[in-house]
Structure 1
Amino acid sequence: MDMSPLAAGAFSKLLERATGQELLAARRWRIETALGPVLKAEGLDSLDQLATRLGRAEEGRLIQDVVEALLNHETSFFRDIAAFRSFADEALPAIAERRIDTRRLRIWSAGCSTGQEAYSLAIQLHRATERWQDWDVSILATDVSPQAISRAREGLYGQLEIQRGLPIGDMLGWFEPEAESWRAKMELRRTIAFAVHNLMEAAPAGRFDIVLCRNVLLYFPIATRRSVLDRIAQSMAPDGLLFLGAGETVLGQSDAFEADRELRGFYRLKGWQAAQD
């Protein structure tokens, strides 16, 4: 399917304007595949025709459909299992020790896609029921995509999705078969609040003890990463932890965070560790 450079640029600008995400030339191969269903639904023959339609003021619905199609919703349960083990074995105990008086834990999963990360977190917490007994524990899971959040709230996953990263014991323990899919049990779902949120906007209200923003920053240009990290910093408790994806870092991209001295792969607000010495 042919696409002019002008059309490719229009789609890239649209995505960045709506979400802050950058569609680099190396990723533009996704445009044809992602927008194929939109072309079919609109009865259009080419991506250039679609790009022309997007310039009309009355095409708000179509613009949203294109943005949704261009977003990358790649995710899985317990994505990067080593990182989840570190989260459960090191980060959670460290925070629990500091929250023993309030017995309150707030987690934000930013860029949660269709919810697998949030449900993985909830499963980890439920595995340690004795530790969190009588605690006020909540997970806020957000994504820029209304469609992704709608699916996450449903907690309904097909056979291929449920098998990606989810141990069989957890599948049988925390999901119920429904037709040819699996739905998260209410006990698991009530732990999580799902909401549409754009990381280009102010962070959700509250002070979070742990923020996960994994495999999200890599889609932003560097200047945008800095502003996103600044907003995340403003949402965190002074001793909170930030958890990024394996290929992401705050080094050279934020003055608000520094690597945690003890927890590898986690970051703290700059200056907090020095204040404890």
Structure 2
Amino acid sequence: MIGGTASESAYRVLMGVLESRTGQTLSPNRIWRIEMSLKPVMQRHGLADLDALVAALVTSNSRQLLDDTVDAMLNNETYFYREHSVFDDIAANALENLREVNARTRRLTIWHCGVSTGQEAYSMAMLFAEQDMKWAGWKVDIVGTDVSYHAIGRARVGLYSQFEIQRGLPVQRMVRWFDQTEAGWLAKADLRRRVDFTVQNMLTDKPPFAAPADLIFCRNLLLYFSAPMREKAFARLRAVAAPQSFLVLGAGETVLGQTDQFVASRRLRGLYEPADRPTPRIAAIAAA
């Protein structure tokens, strides 16, 4: 048996449902958590065990049950300013580069793919909010998407527990951008309005923005994809990336051996850029 007390076929069906709906696969160290993760779903829908859950998924047309099941199996790990040095480098280098590239249009589109409960997108929104004068006259679209409707719902509300608010968020920013309520710490309206959150499957759904993305965060998501799905994901990311954009992956992720759509940035350490990114005019002149 794969794990737990359910039949092996039940686990296989659930893993198949997850991959077909999200592109994600369950690694061995996550399989044993299936039953624990799905207990609240089974209780909510009056199902005795995983075998009963699978039977209900197969025989019923309940979209809510399917959504709840998939949602419970997802890993929504995230926190504010995750790997703080990454945000420092982006603020000091990537955004400055994009500011020059987009000086004529004065527009930026930032996409947080697999945004979970929103902390990463709000971290970026705080960076811009604290530099309002610098970006005056610019249209900055910050978009957060995730396949989890529950996570996106939480992100839109912007309400975080004491543990979540302290995890990665400096006290000064916590006090400046969040209000303490009986239910938790609530993002101020000015911060919430800077981010659009939408449920989206990045493998199948069209991104909810029109302009090409200048900066794409896709951190610690592709780790859960099989090699074919990962290749497809990189192709989808490239399809919406601006020619001179940057891609941000997780610390344990790379494009090496994964795709030919992106390469390590030639100018900014730790970031990636389209493999066919136009050569900077200055560099081209110097090489001539």
For the criterion TM > 0.5, the same-fold answer is: yes
Q: What is the distance in 1 between the residues matched to 2:183 and 2:5?
A: 37
Q: Name 1:224's counterpart in structure 2.
A: 229
Q: What is the distance in 1 between the residues matched to 2:211 and 2:24?
A: 25
Q: What is the distance in 1 between the residues matched to 2:117 and 2:186?
A: 13
Q: 1:126 aligns with which of 101, 126, 129?
A: 129
**Mapped pair 1:215 → 2:248:** no
Q: Name 2:245's counterpart in structure 1.
A: 240
Q: Name 1:201's counterpart in structure 2.
A: 204
Q: What is the distance in 2 between the residues matched to 1:42 and 1:227?
A: 34
**Mapped pair 1:269 → 2:269:** no
Q: Name 1:97's counterpart in structure 2.
A: 100
Matches within 5 A, 1:155-174: 155-174=158-177
188-197 vs 44-53, which moves further: 44-53
Residues 111 and 142 of structure 2 are in contact (CA less than 8 Å); yes or no, is this contact kept in structure 1?
Answer: yes
Q: What is the distance in 1 between the residues matched to 2:241 and 2:198?
A: 18
Q: Deviations for 1:134-162, whole angstroms, at most 9, x for unmatched residues? A: 21111011111111111111111111111
Task: Report the residue type matching 1:8 in the other structure.
Answer: Y
Deviation at 1:118, TM superposition (A): 0.5
Q: What is the distance in 1 between the residues matched to 2:59 and 2:127?
A: 47
Q: Deviations for 1:239-276, whole angstroms, at most 9, x for unmatched residues? A: 01111111111112212111111211211111225475
Deviation at 1:11, TM superposition (A): 0.8
Residues 203 and 231 of structure 1 are in contact (CA less than 8 Å); yes or no, is this contact kept in structure 2?
Answer: no
Task: Report the residue type matching 1:160 in the other structure.
Answer: F
Q: Deviations for 1:111-151, whole angstroms, at most 9, x for unmatched residues? A: 10011011000011122223212211110111111111111
Q: Name 1:109's counterpart in structure 2.
A: 112
Deviation at 1:26, TM superposition (A): 2.7
Matches within 5 A, 1:47-196: 47-196=50-199
Residues 162 and 184 of structure 2 are in contact (CA less than 8 Å); yes or no, is this contact kept in structure 1?
Answer: yes
Q: Deviations for 1:153-186, whole angstroms, at most 9, x for unmatched residues? A: 1111111111111111001101112214111111
TM-score when scaled to structure 1?
0.95
Q: What is the distance in 1 between the residues matched to 2:198 and 2:205?
A: 14
Q: Which runs of 5+ in 1 are unaligned?
A: none
Task: Report the residue type matching 1:223 in the other structure.
Answer: P
Matches within 5 A, 1:2-81: 2-81=5-84
Q: What is the distance in 2 between the residues matched to 1:180 and 1:257?
A: 43
- C-alpha RMSD of the superposition: 1.5
21-30 vs 67-76, which moves further: 21-30
Deviation at 1:59, TM superposition (A): 3.2
Deviation at 1:62, TM superposition (A): 1.2
Q: What is the distance in 2 between the residues matched to 1:89 and 1:7?
A: 50
- After TM superposition, which residue ranges in structure 1, 4 or more long, deviate above 4 angstroms? 273-276
